[in-house]
Amino acid sequence: MKKEIVIDGNRITDKSSLYEEINRQFMENEDWQLGESLDALDDLLYGGFGILKENEEIRLVWKNFEENKCLFGHEFTREFYAQKLEFPDDYNSDIIQKKLEELNSGKGQTYFDIILEIIDEHKNIELIKK
């Protein structure tokens, strides 16, 4: 039987609250919290810390899915990339600029699209959109 985890999208209003909800659901018994990072989210979903065991079968129910998808859509993603461009020593500006151009042309991924791609790469996770 799959372990069910519910992300309450009603609690999510911005990037910080997204990761607070992820930490609330996945990291309840840990003495540290997941950072606000897509790479950290990917690492979490492999399991081995928090409430997930490695390759454990998960049913991930995401409430308020469509509203969260809109929240982390084009406008949010443009701001996300613009903030990264302010730190050229930390991020590859050429890659970020290319991603921004793709997004502006309608071809690029939104932040939410990237989250969904990360979840989809973990075949042990079944995403239920509510």
Tell me the average pLDDT across 23-51: 95
Q: Show the 3-state SS of 36-84.
A: CCHHHHHHHHHCCCCCCCCCCCEEEEEECHHHHHHHCCHHHHHHHHHHH
Instruction: Convert the pLDDT of each residue in 42-98 to its tens digit.
Output: 999 999 999 999 989 999 999 999 999 999 999 999 999 999 999 999 999 999 999
Structure token pair of residue 2: 């799959």
> In order of start, what are the domains of the chain with their CATH numbers?
3-63+115-129 (3.30.370.10), 74-109 (no CATH)
pLDDT band at 23 (very low <50, low <70, confident <90, very high): very high
Q: Report d(CA 102, CA 67) in Å as an integer.
A: 23
- pLDDT value of residue 29: 87
Structure token pair of residue 116: 């969904």
